[in-house]
């Protein structure tokens, strides 16, 4: 092949987990002589801490939810480069794409690079990514980019297990397990990360032949699994993030003293919401599930797109 296929992978990671996922995914592409892969690691000017101090962690949610971009270091790319495919790898922060990736997508370079280009999103998070991907879809649409695939890798511990395991990991820097395994190990399973090379292989197959690179590119590879039980919880949590986030942002920027008392109130609200409202709403949804089966099947199909189960 005379002209190599050029692929850009944009990524950011605090613990290194998403970097491992990016490497697992892209290894076949990197090894292939007909492909040229460019990695663009996003670097905030003021790094976000890892592990996160408790209050700083919660104090970040208003900016995440309102997609307020932090300053990031200048890209080594000019924007004039021409990529055949762009992969945007991101983790979820408070049901939104993480702030460094949000900042990149709002940069002038991104608007040049992504315009009219096919994009695959690659997520590694606890397990709540549906609302973040909705934000991502809007940002890509605004950039005139075409979302053709999505891969979402989630924590091995499952919904209940990761509920404490993941926050404890990002607040302590230690994945666990804890309490003799009562709180399982946090993070995406290593074998799931290793198996993500199948996505890179599929991309090679599609781009090397004259098959077209469209939204069928990653189907039938188990790219995403939509947990239907989380759809309504994510929607309700996002609504509450927006209300509290608006209030907190009106009090000052991240870190401002005025935000602290309201932040404490918010944390109390969040704990009661998680302990009381979410289980009750899940129970209610279970009781009425025979009536909502079709609606939920449609929602599952929608959120699973474009790569399907
Ligand atoms: C501030 C913050 C908020 C997070 N919010 C979510 C979330 O809403 N949903 C989710 O599934 N995971 C959430 N996570 C977990 C991350 O998506 C991710 O799994 C973890 O931070 C490891 O990513 P890394 O590659 O940057 O180390 C959050 C993590 C952080 C630090």
Task: Indicate the domain borders of the chain.
Answer: 5-225, 230-301
What are the distances in angstroms from CA 84 to CA 96, 109, 131, 306?
Answer: 27, 16, 27, 19
Would you say residue 22 has pLDDT above 70?
yes
Residues with CB under 6 A from ligand 1: 13-15, 17-18, 52, 57, 60, 91-95, 124-129, 166, 170
Q: Which of 184, 257, 188 is CA-nearest to residue 13?
A: 188
Q: Are strands 92-93 and 96-97 parallel, antiparallel or unpaired?
A: antiparallel
End-to-end CA distance of the chain: 33
* CATH T-level assignment (fold) for domain 5-225: Rossmann fold (3.40.50)
The band of 276, judged by pLDDT with boundaries at 50, 70 and 90, is: confident
The rounded Å distance from CA 276 to ligand 1 centre is 23
Which CA distances in Å does 174 have to 169, 171, 184, 217?
A: 5, 8, 12, 36
Confidence at 277, pLDDT banded by 50, 70, 90: confident
Atom 2, ligand 1: residue with shortest CA distance: 93
Please check the confidence at residue 210 and state whether its pLDDT lies above 80. Answer: no
Q: Is the pTM of this model over 0.95?
A: yes
CA distance 76 to 92: 25
207 C-alpha to ligand 1 centroid (Å): 32
């Amino acid at each position: 092949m005379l002209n190599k296929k050029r692929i850009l992978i944009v990524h950011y990671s605090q613990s290194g987990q998403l970097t491992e996922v990016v490497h697992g995914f892209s290894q076949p592409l990197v090894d292939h002589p007909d492909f040229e892969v460019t990695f663009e690691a996003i670097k905030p000017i003021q790094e976000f801490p890892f592990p996160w101090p408790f209050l700083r962690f919660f104090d970040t949610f208003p900016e995440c939810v309102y997609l307020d971009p932090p300053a990031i270091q200048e890209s080594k790319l000019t924007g004039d480069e021409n990529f055949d495919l762009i992969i945007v790898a991101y983790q979820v922060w408070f049901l939104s794409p993480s702030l460094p990736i949000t900042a990149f997508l709002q940069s002038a370079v991104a608007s040049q690079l992504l315009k009219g280009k096919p994009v695959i999103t690659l997520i590694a998070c606890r397990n709540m990514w549906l609302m973040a991907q909705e934000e991502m879809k809007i940002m890509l649409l605004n950039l005139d980019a075409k979302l053709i695939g999505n891969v979402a890798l989630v924590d091995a511990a499952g919904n209940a297990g990761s509920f404490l395991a993941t926050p404890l990991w990002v607040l302590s820097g230690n994945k666990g397990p804890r309490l003799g395994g009562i709180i399982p190990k946090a993070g995406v399973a290593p074998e799931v990360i290793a198996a993500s090379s199948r996505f890179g292989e599929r991309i090679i197959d599609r781009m090397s032949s004259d098959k077209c690179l469209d939204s069928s590119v990653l189907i039938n590879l188990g790219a995403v699994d939509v947990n239907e039980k989380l759809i309504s919880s994510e929607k309700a949590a996002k609504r509450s993030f927006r209300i509290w986030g608006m209030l907190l942002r009106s009090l000052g920027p991240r870190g401002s003293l005025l935000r602290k008392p309201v932040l404490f109130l918010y944390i109390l609200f969040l704990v009661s919401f998680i302990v009381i409202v979410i289980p009750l709403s899940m129970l209610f949804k279970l009781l009425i599930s025979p009536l909502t089966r079709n609606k939920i099947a449609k929602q599952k199909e929608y959120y699973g797109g474009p790569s399907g189960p």
